[in-house]
Amino acid sequence: MRRLSVPGRLEPAYSFGRRAYERMLEVNGVDRAIAIGALTFTAIFPLLIVYASLLSRGDGADLANRLIDRFDLSGSAAESVHNAFEAPIGSSAAGLIGAVLVLGTALSFTRAMQRLYESCWRLDRRGLKGSGWGLAWLGEILIWIGIQPYLDLWLPEGVHLATSLAAAVVLWLSTPYLLLGRRVHNRLLAPGAALTAAAMTLAGVVSAVVMPEIVASSSRQFGAIGVAFALLSWLTSVAIVIMGCAVVGAELADRGGAASRLGLREASW
């Protein structure tokens, strides 16, 4: 990359930004984020539908209602979301088979997330040996999604915001910690976790503003498939935010030599 001439006071920020950009290019960050967005759509949404079917005797309508509430949809847009996610399962056996198939697909999503963090932290890939940590992280995600409606119901607005931010920091601290197989000290992961929690909270606020119109417009033009296009674009944008925060978090750890002082520890099962 050609080096630009910048004022002395801006040199540290410029150098950091340049190194973070180079790291992002090194890990093919945008391509990985697009792949993760697509895998989220094809793996996590079906997993949530089966999860609702097995545990709450519901179906895709449970997830559809959550999305409708989240994006404040109504009319034809809300109907299209219901049509897109309703997936009634005819029997418990079918539900079990569906759960097994969806779990296999979800594992490909966790491996993609693992490879993203391993590349950002320049660690060797663990491959299938890291599947156990991926399953643990996936379970944590399902628990976090499951408790969100209760936080909305039980907590006052101010307390809810503080609790949600704290929970988000914990989630994004444990995400790379588990996916990297505990090979990176949690003190190194803390700045990236705080950055990701803040960025994802901001992304949630922006999504609540812009997504209703995007989903409604796509629904009017293309019906249920338009809803799918809108959600895929949204998930890809979220994945880009996660990727950017992972890159910056890893660069922050390298910047002050903290990674060398604390070291990367090997995982123990």
Residues 122, 128, 129, 135: is their CA dihedral positive or negative? positive
Is 250 a member of any domain? yes
Q: Of how many residues is the chain composed?
A: 269
Angle of helix 92-120 relative to helix 131-154, nearest 10 degrees, comes to 110
In degrees to the nearest 10, what's the CA dihedral of 242, 245, 249, 250?
A: 60
Is 269 a member of any domain? no
Instruction: Specify the pLDDT at position 99.
Output: 64
Is 38 a member of any domain? yes
Residues 203, 207, 210, 215: is their CA dihedral positive or negative? positive
Helices (H), the chain: 11-26, 29-39, 45-55, 60-71, 75-85, 92-120, 131-154, 157-179, 186-222, 224-255, 258-262
CA-wise closest residue to 199 among 179, 172, 175? 172
Is 9 a member of any domain? no
Is 208 a member of any domain? yes
Instruction: Specify the pLDDT at position 266.
Output: 43
CB atoms within 10 A of CB 178: 24
Is 77 a member of any domain? yes
What is the chain's pLDDT, residue by residue, as a tens digit (269 residues)? 455 566 667 788 888 999 999 999 999 999 999 999 998 888 777 766 666 555 544 445 566 777 777 777 777 777 777 776 665 544 444 456 666 777 777 888 899 999 999 999 999 988 777 788 988 998 888 788 777 777 777 777 667 778 888 889 999 999 999 999 999 999 999 999 999 999 999 998 899 889 888 988 888 888 778 888 888 999 999 999 999 999 999 999 886 555 544 555 544 33
Q: Which domain holds residue 177?
A: 17-262
Report how far residue 253's alpha carbon sits from residue 209's, in angstroms, rounded to the nearest whole number: 34
Burial of 53 (0-12, 13-18, 19+ CB in 10 A): buried
Is 256 a member of any domain? yes
Instruction: Specify the pLDDT at position 46.
Output: 72
Is 268 a member of any domain? no
Number of domains in the chain: 1
* Predicted TM-score (pTM) above 0.95: no
